[in-house]
């Protein structure tokens, strides 16, 4: 029997979760539209587990036109209303509408600068490499995630509180919060943007 690789404490034995942790979480993402999609998905998680959203991720990409902000803001009300009956997404009107609000905010930011630059400014364009020994040391928010939340809300984004923003920062490699004994820690350190 193969020995289990050491992973961060939040990872369950679910194959989807393990794969996400091992191949995506904490790896730096610089593509503006990919960052937008991830931020929207993190907002959908509010009050739920990330695994719930991860299992619905493909359906979200389908429902929201691959998170193309131009296409999202052009969605007719009838298409948005139909999402309330779509089991592939969280059927909450506020969360459905938040993706549209966030797409509008994204497009407004893109008129001034790439969304990626806007997002990465909160860590000065670099990955913050932490050295947590255990999951209990990892914060749920930081001064940077508070600043990001405030700036995004000012631009009309919703479901972007400081905790959601920090989870997003962890996911897209703005911070490396893999614990030091996790088998991904060294690889993610090597990918860190310095």
The pLDDT tens digits for 52-72 are 999 999 999 999 999 999 999
Instruction: Supply angle C-alpha 177, 173, 110, rounded to 5.
Output: 145
* Domain assignment of residue 158, yes or no: yes
- Full residue range of the structural domain in which residue 44 is found: 21-191
Number of domains in the chain: 1
* Domain assignment of residue 27, yes or no: yes
Q: Confidence band (pLDDT; 50, 70, 90) for 3? A: low
* CATH code: domain of residue 85: 1.10.340.30
* Domain assignment of residue 32, yes or no: yes
**For position 1, what pLDDT does the model report?**
45
| Percentage of the chain lying above the pLDDT 70 cut | 98
**For position 4, what pLDDT does the model report?**
80
* Domain assignment of residue 186, yes or no: yes
Average pLDDT over residues 146-159: 98
* Domain assignment of residue 10, yes or no: no
**For position 146, what pLDDT does the model report?**
98
* Domain assignment of residue 2, yes or no: no
Q: Which helix (H) or strand (E) holds 16?
A: helix 15-23
How does pLDDT run across 117-136, given as a tens digit for each residue? 999 999 999 999 999 999 99
Distances (CA, A) of 152 to 11, 85, 149, 193: 28, 29, 5, 23
Question: For residue 182, what are its two tokens?
Answer: 């996790």
* Domain assignment of residue 28, yes or no: yes
* Domain assignment of residue 1, yes or no: no
């Amino acid at each position: 029997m193969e020995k289990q690789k050491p992973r961060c404490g939040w990872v369950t034995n679910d194959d989807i979760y393990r794969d996400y942790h091992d191949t995506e979480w904490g790896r730096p993402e610089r593509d503006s539209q990919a960052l937008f999609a991830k931020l929207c998905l993190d907002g959908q998680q509010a009050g739920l587990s990330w695994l719930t959203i991860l299992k619905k991720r493909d359906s979200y990409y389908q429902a929201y036109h691959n998170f193309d902000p131009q296409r999202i803001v052009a969605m007719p009300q009838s298409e948005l209303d139909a999402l309330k009956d779509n089991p592939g997404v969280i059927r909450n009107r506020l969360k459905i509408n938040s993706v549209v609000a966030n797409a509008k905010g994204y497009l407004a930011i893109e008129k001034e600068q790439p969304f990626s630059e806007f997002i990465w400014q909160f860590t000065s364009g670099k990955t913050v490499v932490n050295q947590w020994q255990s999951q209990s040391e990892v914060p749920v928010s930081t001064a940077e995630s508070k600043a990001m939340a405030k700036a995004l809300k000012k631009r009309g984004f919703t479901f972007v509180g400081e905790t959601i923003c920090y989870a997003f920062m962890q996911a897209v490699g703005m911070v490396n919060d893999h614990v030091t004994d996790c088998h991904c820690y060294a690889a993610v350190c090597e990918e860190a943007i310095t």
